[in-house]
Amino acid sequence: MVEWKQEWKKLALLTGAFLICFYLPIGRERFDTAVLEALHLVKWYAQEHVLLCLIPAFFIAGAIAVFVSQASVMKYLGPRTHKLLAYGVASVSGTILAVCSCTVLPLFAGVYRMGAGLGPATAFLYSGPAINVLAIALTARVLGVKLGIARAVGAIVFSVVIGLLMHLIFRKEEAEKAAAQVAMPEAEVTRPLWQNALYFFTMVGILVFANWAKPVQDTGLWHAIYAAKWVVTALFSIALAVILVVWFEMKWWKMLLAALPAGILALLFPQAPMIAFAAGVIGLSTITSTSHDNNGEWFSSAWGFAKQIMPLLLAGVLVAGLLLGSPSSTDGGLIPSRWVARLVGGNSLWANLFASVVGAFMYFATLTEVPILQGLISNGMGRGPALALLLAGPALSLPNMLVIRSVMGTKKTVVFVLLVIIMATISGIVFGWIA
């Protein structure tokens, strides 16, 4: 009987797949355009985010797993840590990183699996993409000072409140973690804390400056940093190479062989820095993957995160593009953007809730949410729903949810997503009343 049930399930799946193929609406303009938009979004994501965002994030997450002891993570982010310290560290870390909803995932997975409390870990998960100083400044400049301030205050409060609520909802599991922390032995120190801090600082510097977005104006401090972003990234890369040789026992000649192609390509193709960056990534991957010490474990851990996260992200980006189109499209997905604009006018509960849900499932790269919202506001979107989308959108996305589920399970993921949507909806309604 059990075998027949399994066969019936297989038959149902095959029948469903056949019907989908049989009735594919190929030839209809909306469907064909949506497919092209999905492919455009995947291509754009691969070009703009995989190499510059995700790969550095994978290396940072791998380094957390190998070079940061579990006891150290538990000390600052564990369930027994003083709440002010734990949530302060989580929110500040997110502010410094200023990454998108997908780039923060390897880092979140790293600290969560090392034993961080659920509350601080989810506060970090939200704060990384939401508390982005450059994005908040751009919001204030393009969409208005009130909306910029509301986004900044809302994001900071959200990161702490969501973390505290996750802790309270799953307090039984947190109590078990806290009990395990009592019996945890003191970590064996292999190098001073300041050396590890500089090691992580250089990798974070590479991640931040390689992804420094072009500001609206061609003057000012932000533009000056943007103009020098690749020089600064190269300096951080050199500093990382020196640290690996001096403190992490990497052979100097291996490092030289790994860095030489990147240096030559940077000189030959100064207008295409991505080529040199890719060569540097390949070189670092080669020398770490062939090492038989902690550096080899570093690469193995980073590769483990990549294998788990990358397929889910790319699949999620493809589906998000099919449904809602790419950030550059005006009406390219299966769900027309004009429908969205109509449904988010005014300041009703429905308008704010709909904006929160759409923002939660749509993929926003860093800073792209501002021009998208500018277009929606010009088409009649209310100020309250605009804030709701700003608070839910950058911190969540369909690809993001798929990966979070693989890290902390379906139940916690559903609760986290619902908390973000509910709080974004309430914030939008309140802002719509007072704005």
CA distance 118 to 222: 35
At residue 386's C-alpha, the angle toward residues 384 and 387, to 5°, is 70
CA distance 84 to 182: 20
Whose tokens are 């902390």? That residue is 408
- Alpha-carbon separation of residue 243 from 194, 246, 350, 380 (angstroms): 12, 5, 54, 53
CA distance 308 to 288: 20
Whether 299 contacts 62, CB under 8 Å:
yes
Count helices and strands in the chain by DSSP H and E runs: 22, 0
What pLDDT is stored for residue 183 in this prediction?
53
> Which residues, in sequence order, are CB contacts of 426 under 8 Å at separation 6+?
352
Residue 287 structure tokens: 């020398």
Residue 347 DSSP one-character state: S
Handedness of CA 141, 57, 327, 396 (dihedral sign): negative
Q: Among residues 28, 33, 23, 26, which one has the least CA distance to residue 321?
A: 33
This prediction has a pTM of: 0.73
CA distance 71 to 79: 12
At residue 132's C-alpha, the angle toward residues 119 and 48, to 5°, is 110
User: pLDDT tens digit string along 308-331?
Assistant: 778 877 887 787 778 777 666 656
What pLDDT is stored for residue 94 in this prediction?
59
> Which residues, in sequence order, are CB contacts of 111 under 8 Å at separation 6+?
64, 73, 77, 121, 124
What pLDDT is stored for residue 367 in this prediction?
61
pLDDT tens, per residue, the chain with 435 residues:
556 777 888 888 899 889 988 888 888 888 888 888 888 888 887 887 788 888 888 898 888 878 876 666 666 676 667 777 777 777 766 555 556 667 778 878 887 877 778 888 888 888 877 776 667 766 776 678 888 888 888 888 888 899 899 989 998 877 776 666 555 555 555 678 788 889 999 998 998 888 887 776 787 888 888 899 999 999 999 999 999 999 998 999 999 999 999 999 999 999 999 999 999 999 999 999 999 888 999 999 889 888 877 887 788 778 777 877 766 665 667 877 677 767 887 888 999 999 999 888 887 766 667 767 766 776 678 889 989 988 888 778 888 898 899 888 899 999 999 999 999 999 999 998 986
